[in-house]
Structure 1
Amino acid sequence: MADALGFTDEDLRRLAGARSYERGLGYLTAVSRLEVGETAITATVDGTDAYEVELTEDGVGPLTGWCDCPYGQEGNFCKHCVAVGLVVLGQADSVPRQRASATGRTELLSSWLKSRTREELLALLQEHLAEDRDLRRRLELRAAAAGEDTGIVRERILSLLDTRPFARYGYVEYADARAYGQQAAEAVTALRALTASGRAADAVEVAREALSALGRTYGEVDDSDGLIGEVATGLAEAHLEACREARPDPVQTADWLVAHLLDGLNDATDIDLFDYHEVLGEPGLARARELVVAAWRAHPKGWAEKYLMERLLKAGGGSVDALVAVHAADLAPNGHTHLVIAKELEEAGRPPEALEWAERGLREADSEWGPDGELVTFVCERYTRTGRIADVVMLRRDLLRARPTLATYQDLRTAARAAGSWEAAERATALEALRAADTPKAGRRYGGSVLMDALMDDGDLDAAWQAAADGYADQQQWLALADRIRGQRPADALAVYVRWIEPLRKQTGDGTYERMTELLLSARTCHQALGTELEFATYLAALRADQKRKRKLMTKLDQHGLP
């Protein structure tokens, strides 16, 4: 299978994780409209909604998956991706034929287009332009960029960057961001065409307006996929290319650049002042230095002012002490700025001073939040190098008490094991600190405890079970624990699944029906391990009789083999 596809069942399990992989098993019959292309596999999966899935693998890079379900939109390889991957693996023998067919269709279309006359191609294009407004607008823009009317190009580029047609309640949601990004990308193409047509000076001015326009609206777009960021980068590159070609006034260019970098519109584009050193020359760079220094002196705590001043000093070969002075003018309360200073000093070959600044950051950190985690790691690494292992454990212990999280618990565990004190004393003290940091609550549904996470991370499932019974687990932690123990303790896991199924009987909605189906599948697995399939059949029959008016639920149970 791997030779034909480039991925295996184990790859799907690794990408999705055990829980999403198992959920995906229940969606095999919900996959429809499957299409295997040359490198991409697309399909629709019926869940709470009809979700579009795309798997990409070209035999060179790793398998990737995209799905427009809420979990998939967060960048996860979801259960719907798993289902599509498993269906494709199930027909792996036919994949080479399907890919060859896709390649053949592409080649046939290309050959057919090449065989058409100019008049036939123009007629075909006109036909599609009459039906596709977006295509017409894109080509109109390219035509304008190749012509002489810069005003039309400017107007069309700014309209391409306008988010209003895509915004719901003033915000471009994830579902609409892809379409907006594809439209906005045409603005980059048009700017480059403007430069290529010999109007680089015009392209400079239009690009500046475009960058400002996108900068103002970037915060109103859900750019989880980074498409809008790519457009912003493209606009910045098109502006720089136009500047290199047109060679605008260096001082005026410096004025615009520094103003753009200081007014917060650079978050999307990430323009670097010193990428323009050829365009600015010494007069422009001198003007930029003057403006940056003045801005920093006026607002030494401003983020943009600090960053530009730092870049100015580094690019100009400024002393490390000058850099330290810039950072020391605004020390973050969690010690992060102390860490930045420490790294600068260490890079300059002054490690004792670096450690002094880092330790000062630990002492001066706001007690409410505790010191920055990276700062603690920096100090611990330097202590480890000099054999101060006991000091490392002490720091990690203090951080756990100040910030009881799974990550701080794991860091303390690593340090104490290195010191040989974890099992002997440190673990019990750490768990007691986590236990004291939370209050047990009977039947809690949300807001699980770090204690539960730590015990499960240790693999101490018996202690985790007891902590859950004592009221330290929320619903998600109960279910995660049930998933972990059901191989050895299926009866206990079954009790958890049934407990969370019962409240769902009184609820309605697609999400509820999907959740109930998943829990029933898990319960069935437990009954199979216990050899009590008949008992599960009786339970399921009673549940279906009780819930028979919920037609969507009945359909979903049928789809997942729960008749």
Structure 2
Amino acid sequence: MLWFDHRDLRPHPNDEWYTWGRDRVGEVRDLEYSPERVIGTVESFVVRLTCRDGRLAGDCSCGWEQLRNFCEHCVAVGLAALAREPAEESLAAEPLAEEPADVPAYLGNADRATLVDLLTGLADTDPAVHQLLSLRAAGGAAPNADDLQELVDTLVRARNVEIDDIPTLTRSVDQILHTLRVVAIDHPQLVRPLYQQALRSLATSCAPDDYRVASVVNAAMSRVAEALVKVCRAAPPDPAELAQWLVDLQLDAAAGDLAVTDFADALGDTGLARYQALLEQQLVEDADPGDYEAAARADDRREKIFELRETFLAKITGDVDDLITLYTQDTSTNYRRHVKIGKDLRAAGRLDDAIRWLIFSRSEATRRQLGLTEPFGLTDLLADIYTQTGRHQEAARARWAAFEQNPTDTTYFALLRAAEPLDAVDYAKNRAMTFLHTRATARAKHADPLVTILTAIGDVDQAWAAAHEFRCSDNVQFLVARRRASKHPEDAIPFYEREVEAKIDRKQQGAYSSAARLLTVLKYLHHRAGTDFDTYLAHVKARHRRKSAFMEALAKTGL
């Protein structure tokens, strides 16, 4: 017995997914059962139905399932499973190990009548087989090009797709892929430009800044691109034309994850050379500084060209020197590219070159140009290379410079790790604490690193004393108060109460919920300290009684 029934597949009476899935039951293939799951395929999608927390759950390789919805493919597999439900004992049985059948040999020895019956039966249950045989029965003539164009044009009309449009988009892509895949068997030259049009339409269909829609569209584009690559093998395109099309698509549309690596075989050496030349020829004119939108578009285009060239050099040619030359052409505003150069040199085994480059990148002039205080990624990589090459003193000096410029618990612990090979951990600790105490006396809030690091190493008493001796931020005071609360609840209570008021003053639903949770902690702290929580809570409620959302958040916590 399966763990679900028809009611689980149709939670809402007017569920359109159920209607669509019911119409596709005949397309379900490769249905497999086990006591824990049902697996099947619909078109090119793989569906897995499982039981999670006593409820039916579906996972499908289609884009819509990325949004955690029970799609039409899941419905179809579920209905097919119920219709063909095996006996209970067969569900529990282990699958029989069978030798793979020699299908070509079987078909080669079958008589004409057997083959006709076999293909007729397949055509009755599989639309793709039916369509292919229909084309062959018509003498192999190409289907009507206008009809195919009209089918692809359904995507042209799908501009600015919103979240509610995803079911329609998914069905359109399914239908296009299903039809073109069949036509491509005999007429690959006909469908190749249609695949290319479908990709461009998808690349321009996303609503701005909606990552949910973008994830679905990117998944659809990957499927269409995969089909296009297969067609290019059967009907090779002109390499230069394909390169031009790909560059235009990547630069002028939201091509998502579409990369030159997907088309490397189809482009060949000639197409790849043309692709690289096209990217290098791209020029972006400077926009009027007063036109912010135009300037932003120009910057985006420059960044996109850079990323495409970077991918080509990293994934296609693999030439480290060319990649570094590219990076050095534009590092003035992006220190991450400085880090990337160092990583590429290190990966190529050019450790001395990597060290020289990273030292340059960490120089005062370079950091001033980049507007950075401490590019920790640079220091982290430089110290790692120093350690890798046994230059432990240089590694420790680099770590100290990073800590001195940006004293945090992260740079502190990195400093101690660098001191270990030199047997200088105690020295590093003492030097760091002296530096932090000196810094804390300099100006307001410069005690934050001292208190934070003392808290991180577990010296809560010293952190508490430092927080009172020096001036530090409210956030850091609350940080150490939370740690002190376990042994001294009476000391922590005033800081929790201050944090509650700060949360309430933000007048946001999430902040109200956080304040309510803090009040439950305060109730526990007052109980441990032997102080009056009820009177305090009554005052809080009285002060904020007009904030209905806050009062609701309190009620949910039982206060």
Judge conservation of contact 2:200–2:249 (CA < 8 Å) in 1: no
Query: Cα 1:55–1:357, aligned 2, differ >3 Å: closer, same or farther?
Result: farther
Alignment pair present for 1:208 and 2:207:
no
Alignment pair present for 1:393 and 2:396:
yes
Per-residue Cα deviation, 1:464-502 (whole angstroms, up to 9, x for no partner): 334444441324x44443332221111112222223345
Cα deviation for residue 210 of structure 1 reads 2.1
Whole-angstrom distance in 2 between the partners of 1:440 and 1:501: 22
Cα deviation for residue 283 of structure 1 reads 4.0
Alignment pair present for 1:521 and 2:486:
no
Pairing partner for 1:276 from 226, 239, 263 = 263
Alignment pair present for 1:192 and 2:183:
no
Which runs of structure 2 are paired with 1:144-155 in the superposition (5 Å)?
A: 149-155=147-153
Per-residue Cα deviation, 1:186-231 (whole angstroms, up to 9, x for no partner): 45434422422316335323223224304xx475224599555444
Aligned to 1:260: 249
Query: Cα 1:519–1:198, aligned 2, differ >3 Å: closer, same or farther?
Result: same
Equivalent residue pairs, number: 415
Whole-angstrom distance in 1 between the partners of 2:349 and 2:503: 63
SS class of match (1:365): helix
Pairing partner for 2:378 from 352, 375, 379 = 375
Cα deviation for residue 252 of structure 1 reads 1.3
Alignment pair present for 1:540 and 2:529:
no
Whole-angstrom distance in 2 between the partners of 1:343 and 1:541: 59
Query: Cα 1:193–1:232, aligned 2, differ >3 Å: closer, same or farther?
Result: same
Aligned to 1:156: 154
Judge conservation of contact 1:392–1:415 (CA < 8 Å) in 2: yes
- Structure 1 alignment gaps of length 5 or more: 1-36, 43-53, 59-65, 68-104, 116-142, 167-176, 442-447
Counterpart code for 2:402: L
Judge conservation of contact 1:452–1:467 (CA < 8 Å) in 2: yes
Counterpart code for 2:526: H
Moved more, 305-314 or 420-429: 305-314
Judge conservation of contact 1:339–1:375 (CA < 8 Å) in 2: yes
Counterpart code for 1:435: A
Per-residue Cα deviation, 1:265-314 (whole angstroms, up to 9, x for no partner): 44x22x23243233224443343244244449999x95444554455556
Judge conservation of contact 2:195–2:224 (CA < 8 Å) in 1: no
Aligned to 2:100: none
SS class of match (2:237): coil
Whole-angstrom distance in 2 between the partners of 1:440 and 1:211: 52
Counterpart code for 1:277: A
Whole-angstrom distance in 2 between the partners of 1:108 and 1:233: 26
Query: Cα 1:320–1:481, aligned 2, differ >3 Å: closer, same or farther?
Result: closer
Aligned to 2:436: 431
- Structure 2 alignment gaps of length 5 or more: 1-48, 60-66, 69-74, 86-130, 132-142, 185-190, 287-300
Query: Cα 1:286–1:503, aligned 2, differ >3 Å: closer, same or farther?
Result: closer
Pairing partner for 1:559 from 520, 537, 556 = 556
Aligned to 1:412: 415
Aligned to 1:489: 488
Query: Cα 1:512–1:386, aligned 2, differ >3 Å: closer, same or farther?
Result: closer
Query: Cα 1:298–1:478, aligned 2, differ >3 Å: closer, same or farther?
Result: closer
SS class of match (1:440): coil
Whole-angstrom distance in 1 between the partners of 2:408 and 2:516: 32
Counterpart code for 2:353: E
Whole-angstrom distance in 2 between the partners of 1:279 and 1:420: 58
User: With structure 1 as the length reference, what TM-score do the two structures score?
Assistant: 0.60
Cα deviation for residue 399 of structure 1 reads 2.2
SS class of match (2:486): coil
SS class of match (1:197): helix
Query: Cα 1:181–1:383, aligned 2, differ >3 Å: closer, same or farther?
Result: farther
Greater RCO (CA < 8 Å, at least 6 residues apart): 1
Whole-angstrom distance in 1 between the partners of 2:173 and 2:478: 49
User: With structure 2 as the length reference, what TM-score do the two structures score?
Assistant: 0.60
What CA RMSD, in Å, does the superposition of the two structures yield over aligned residues? 4.6
Judge conservation of contact 1:258–1:288 (CA < 8 Å) in 2: yes
Percentage of matched positions with identical amino acids:
25
Cα deviation for residue 255 of structure 1 reads 0.9
Aligned to 1:361: 361
Whole-angstrom distance in 2 between the partners of 1:203 and 1:431: 66
Alignment pair present for 1:285 and 2:277:
no
Cα deviation for residue 365 of structure 1 reads 2.7
Q: Over alpha carbons, which structure has the higher Rg?
A: 2
Judge conservation of contact 1:513–1:553 (CA < 8 Å) in 2: yes
Whole-angstrom distance in 2 between the partners of 1:234 and 1:362: 44
Counterpart code for 2:325: A
Judge conservation of contact 2:451–2:480 (CA < 8 Å) in 1: no
Alignment pair present for 1:251 and 2:240:
yes
Judge conservation of contact 2:204–2:253 (CA < 8 Å) in 1: no
Whole-angstrom distance in 1 between the partners of 2:264 and 2:492: 65
Per-residue Cα deviation, 1:397-424 (whole angstroms, up to 9, x for no partner): 2223434555334423432455444544
Query: Cα 1:106–1:153, aligned 2, differ >3 Å: closer, same or farther?
Result: closer
Per-residue Cα deviation, 1:107-155 (whole angstroms, up to 9, x for no partner): 995566569xxxxxxxxxxxxxxxxxxxxxxxxxxx9xx9972344334
Whole-angstrom distance in 2 between the partners of 1:358 and 1:220: 36
